[in-house]
Amino acid sequence: MRAIARDRGKKLHVWTITHGFGAGTGQRDPATRDPLAALEHVATSPDQAIFLLKDFHAYIADASVTRRLRDLTPILKNSYKNLVLLAPILKLPADLEKEVTVVDFALPTYEELGRLLDDIVLSVKDMPDIRWQLEPERREQVLKAAQGLTALEAENVFAKSLVQKRTFDVDVILSEKEQIIRKSGILEYYPASEAFANVGGLDLLKDWMEKRTASFTDKARDFGLPEPKGILLLGVQGCGKSLSAKAIGALWRLPLLRLDIGKVFAGLVGASEENMRKALRVAESVAPCVLWLDELEKGLLGIQSSGASDGGTTSRVFSTFLTWLQEKTVPVFVVSTANQVEVLPPELLRKGRFDEIFFIDLPAAAEREEIFRIHLRKRKRKPEDFDLAELARATPGFSGAEIEQLVVEALYDAFDAGTDLTTDLLVRAARATVPLSMTMREKIAYLRDWASTRARPASSVEVESFEDQAAAFLANRIIAKQEAKGRGRANEEPTAPKSDEAEESPPKARRRTSAKAKAQKSQ
């Protein structure tokens, strides 16, 4: 603003709530600290100047302030004065929307961050304990990690990295982004703790993601590749949708942000739409990143009746998200998961919203072996000590989450019995479990039928049919009942044989004889 004022030959008067006019000059004008008094000063000042009001958004909602700003409009138009409201967020009352011109100041570009990094490198070149050298690929990683930070934030985090690591460290930069995310209150930051090595099966989805690992690089842009927009993961509960979303962030080494739809909706009128816009702005500010919307359908329930049930709030929030999803130009990769496709609006599923829609089915036998292998290793067991093929046969129609739970159940059984975990204990736990594929068979069948012509399979391995799963499940249940009966007979204690006298003297006869003897004795 000083440069603009100098170029135009104008004075610059700066106002803050603490100093009034005169801020930045060492002078104070307490008489103009009040917002209304400040606006009155603008109206009556003889100076043809630029008046800069800092952080004025906090007072603009006041009806009297809004009215005074509207009164100022004709005065400013007929003078050589300019009024500039400086604010970190946009909160304009409807009364002022036609009167105010909004100018957004963008965050530093990749090139601007590069110049900032070069300046810092130049300042530490003579320090022998600083590893300031950066290979081109490493330099690109550092700058990509810093994108979304302000110039001051980037400068501070570069300095912090040099102090802590004696070099420019990507993880230190990402930790700064984590702080920004946490301050939003709507988004949650997930550290890169999961990897696709911990996701059993889903080879087609993994291959699709692997091919796009370098999709946010300059090399990909020069090749003509667009930045990927996002994917929608549909499927059965507990089959790895959320785990896959976490693994994508780790695979691409990008911040993973989870948008909690429930936190978006607030009680105040207009607050829900603003919360959604705020969440999307934060996601853009830390881009490139992965934005994860888990169980999307829960946030969209009742969207068809939104006009009658909530005054159209859900529809407006959804419309804001859809427009952003279609028009976004920043590298935010969206991963949405859903279990119930029938409640998703058709405008969400049309081509152009997402790069691909993947269907995640129940794991096939070979994939169940892989899932057992993963969870046995997590519990400090060697998979080669178990009959994985037998475990896969014992778990037809089981989801990955159900397999994990039965491993935990079998561990409890082993701990209680004072033995180590065995294949038999795992099989026994499986036979005692009723999988979701049996209790929710009709819904899963509908989901499979829908996805067969509308979604891309996440796995190349064909899962067993419902008939085969049901037959195997019933067979396992029969075996489980037989085993339970066998254990029950084995636990029965042997009964002592009755004496001849006891057989000849029934209990009732003994009680009657005893009563007669007592009567004779009393006489």
For residues 157 and 176, the answer to whether their CB atoms sit within 8 Å is yes
Residue 494 has pLDDT above 70, yes or no: no
- For residues 320-341, average pLDDT: 90
Are the C-beta atoms of 357 and 455 separated by less than 8 Å? yes
pLDDT over 70 percentage in the chain: 88
479, pLDDT greater than 80: no
What integer pLDDT is reported at residue 492 of this predicted model?
60
What is the 3-state secondary structure of 284-331? HHCCCEEEEECCHHHHCCCCCCHHHHCCCHHHHHHHHHHHHHHHCCCC
Note whether 100 and 76 are within 8 A (CB): no
What single-letter amino acid sits at 411?
A: L
Q: Residue 307: what pLDDT?
A: 47
Residue 516 has a pLDDT of 46
What is the pLDDT averaged over residues 34-52?
91
Take residue 106 and report the two structure tokens written for it: 């963008």
Q: Taking the CA of residue 146 as centre, how many other CA atoms within 13 Å lie in the half-sphere pointing to its CB?
A: 30
Residue 76: both structure tokens together: 């400013």
pLDDT for 310 beyond 70: no
Torsion over CA: 401, 402, 407, 410 (sign): positive
For residue 176, pLDDT over 50 is answered with yes
Quick one: tokens of 184?
A: 């939003």
pLDDT greater than 80 at residue 495: no
Among the listed residues 141, 186, 190, 171, the one whose alpha carbon sits nearest the alpha carbon of residue 281: 186
* Number of residues assigned to the chain: 523
Cβ contact 260:189 at 8 Å: no
Beta bridge partners of 449: none
> So what's the pLDDT on residue 510?
43
Residue 132 neighbours by CB distance under 10 Å:
17
**Of residues 286, 290, 279, 189, the one with CA closest to residue 244:** 290
Integer Cα distance of 419 and 407 in angstroms: 15
C-alpha–C-alpha distance, residues 346 and 343, integer Å: 9
Q: What is the pLDDT of residues 290-309, one digit of tens each?
A: 999 988 887 776 555 444 45
pLDDT, residue 24, reads 61
| Cβ atoms of residues 458 and 358 within 8 Å | yes
What Rg, from alpha-carbon coordinates, does the chain have?
A: 35
Q: Residue 372 pLDDT more than 90?
A: yes
Q: How far apart are CA 28 and CA 157, in angstroms?
A: 34
Count Cα neighbours of 374 within 13 Å in the Cβ-side half-sphere.
20
Per-residue model confidence (pLDDT) at position 78:
87
Comparing 142 with 403, the larger pLDDT belongs to 403
Reported as a single tens digit per residue, the pLDDT across 423-443 is 999 999 998 888 988 888 889
Name which of 18-32, 244-258, 320-334 the model is least confident about. 18-32
Q: What pLDDT is recorded for position 275?
A: 84
For residues 240 and 361, what is the distance between their CA atoms, to the nearest angstrom? 9
The count of other CB atoms within 10 Å of the CB of residue 156 is 13
What are the pLDDT digits (tens) for 191-241? 777 788 889 999 999 999 999 998 888 888 889 998 899 999 999 899 999
Query: What pLDDT score was predicted for residue 490?
Result: 60
Centroid of chain to Cα 294: 6
Residue 381 pLDDT > 80? yes
Q: How confident is the model at residue 27 (pLDDT cuts 50, 70, 90)?
A: confident
| Higher-scoring residue by pLDDT: 40, 499 | 40
Q: Is 186 exposed, middle or buried, given 0-12, 13-18 or 19+ CB atoms closer than 10 A?
A: buried
Q: What distance separates the 2 farthest-apart alpha carbons in the chain?
A: 135
Q: Is the per-residue pLDDT at 451 higher than 60? A: yes
Q: What is the mean pLDDT of residues 100-129?
A: 86
Predicted pLDDT of residue 523: 46
Of 359, 342, 372, residue with least CA distance to 460:
359
Cis status, amide bond into 288, omega within 30 of 0: yes
Q: Provide CB contacts within 8 A for 72, sequence distance 6+.
A: 39, 42, 43, 83
pLDDT for the residue 316: 83
Tell me how far apart the alpha carbons of residues 432 and 476 are, in angstroms, rounded to a whole number: 9
End-to-end CA distance of the chain: 124
Distances (CA, A) of 326 to 104, 221, 256, 329, 508: 21, 20, 20, 9, 89
3-state secondary structure of 404: helix
Strand, coil or helix: 26: coil
Instruction: Using the predicted structure, report yes or no on whether residue 501 has a pLDDT greater than 50.
Output: no
H/E stretch holding 249 reads helix 241-252
With cut-offs at 50, 70 and 90, classify the pLDDT of residue 487. low
Confidence at residue 423, expressed as pLDDT on a 0 to 100 scale:
95
Residue 267: pLDDT band with limits 50, 70, 90: low
Q: Which two tokens stand for residue 263?
A: 């936190």
pLDDT (0 to 100) of residue 357: 95
- Specify the DSSP class assigned to residue 167: B
- Asked if residue 336 lies in contact with residue 296, where contact means CB atoms within 8 angstroms, the answer is yes
Task: Tell me how far apart the alpha carbons of residues 180 and 429 are, in angstroms, rounded to a whole number.
Answer: 45
Q: What is the pLDDT of residues 454-467, one digit of tens each?
A: 999 999 998 887 77
* Helices (H) then strands (E): counts for the chain: 25, 11
Query: Which tens digits make up the pLDDT trace of 348-361?
Result: 888 778 999 999 99
In sequence order, which residues have a C-beta less than 8 Å from that of residue 121 and are 6 or more positions away? 132, 134
* pLDDT confidence bin for 340, thresholds 50/70/90: confident
What per-residue confidence (pLDDT) applies to 179? 79
pLDDT score recorded for residue 271? 72
Task: Output the average pLDDT for the chain.
Answer: 84
- Residue 72: which pLDDT band, with cuts at 50, 70 and 90? very high
Burial degree of 204 (CB within 10 A; 0-12, 13-18, 19+):
middle
